[in-house]
Amino acid sequence: MVQDTGCYIRLEYANTRMNRVNKDTRNYILMFFDPVTYVAAMVFISINAVIPNFLNELGASAFQISFASALCGIGPFLSQPLFAQTAMGKPLKSISFARILYVQRFLFLLYVLFISLINRYFPSLSVTAFLTFWGIFNIFVGCYSPFFMSVISKVIPGNQRGRLSGFANAAGNILALGSAFLIGVILKKFLFPFNYTLIFGIGTLLLILNAMTFALIEEEPDETKKKAINYFKYIREIPHALRTNKGYAATVMGNSFLVISNVALAFYTLAAIRNFDAGPEQIALFTGIGVLVNIFGSMVFGVIGDWAGHRYVLLISAFFSALASVLVSSIHSLITIYIGFALSSLSTGGYMLSGGMNIINHSPKEQLPLYVSMNTMITLTASSTVTLLAGAIIDTFSFTPLFVFTALCGVISTLVFYGSDKTKDIVRSNSEDQLLS
Query: According to the model, what pLDDT value does residue 153 have?
Result: 82
Q: How confident is the model at residue 21 (pLDDT cuts 50, 70, 90)?
A: low
Query: According to the model, what pLDDT value does residue 7 have?
Result: 55
Query: According to the model, what pLDDT value does residue 260 have?
Result: 93
Query: According to the model, what pLDDT value does residue 6 have?
Result: 54
Given a cut of 70, whether residue 419 has pLDDT beyond it is yes
Between 9-13, 21-25, 236-240, 257-261, the lowest mean confidence (pLDDT) is in 9-13
For residue range 378-418, list pLDDT tens digits in order.
998 888 888 778 877 887 888 899 999 999 999 999 999 99
For residue range 89-132, list pLDDT tens digits in order.
888 889 999 999 999 999 999 999 999 999 999 988 999 999 99
Side chain identity at residue 409, one-letter code: C
Given a cut of 90, whether residue 319 has pLDDT beyond it is yes
More confident residue, 195 or 177: 195
CB atoms closer than 10 angstroms to residue 250: 18
The top-scoring range by mean pLDDT among 218-222, 299-303, 408-412 is 408-412
Given a cut of 90, whether residue 327 has pLDDT beyond it is yes
Query: According to the model, what pLDDT value does residue 433 have?
Result: 38
Q: How confident is the model at residue 436 (pLDDT cuts 50, 70, 90)?
A: very low
Between 24-33, 37-46, 227-236, 300-309, the lowest mean confidence (pLDDT) is in 227-236
Mean pLDDT of the chain: 84
For residue range 46-92, list pLDDT tens digits in order.
876 788 888 888 988 867 877 887 788 888 888 888 888 888 888 88
- Percentage of the chain beyond pLDDT 90 is 34
Query: According to the model, what pLDDT value does residue 240 have?
Result: 85
Given a cut of 50, whether residue 342 has pLDDT beyond it is yes
Phi-psi region of 59 (alpha: psi -120 to 50; beta: other; left: phi over 0): left
Query: According to the model, what pLDDT value does residue 4 have?
Result: 57
Query: According to the model, what pLDDT value does residue 300 have?
Result: 92
Query: According to the model, what pLDDT value does residue 426 have?
Result: 59
**Full-prediction pTM beyond 0.85?**
no
From the list 320, 310, 324, the residue with the least C-alpha distance to 160 is 310
Given a cut of 60, whether residue 344 has pLDDT beyond it is yes
From the list 308, 323, 305, 284, the residue with the least C-alpha distance to 413 is 323
Task: Identify whether the C-beta of residue 141 lies closer than 8 Å to the C-beta of residue 75.
Answer: yes
Could you tell me the domains of the chain? 1-217 (1.20.1250.20), 242-426 (1.20.1250.20)
Whether a cis peptide bond, with omega within 30° of 0, leads into 193 is yes
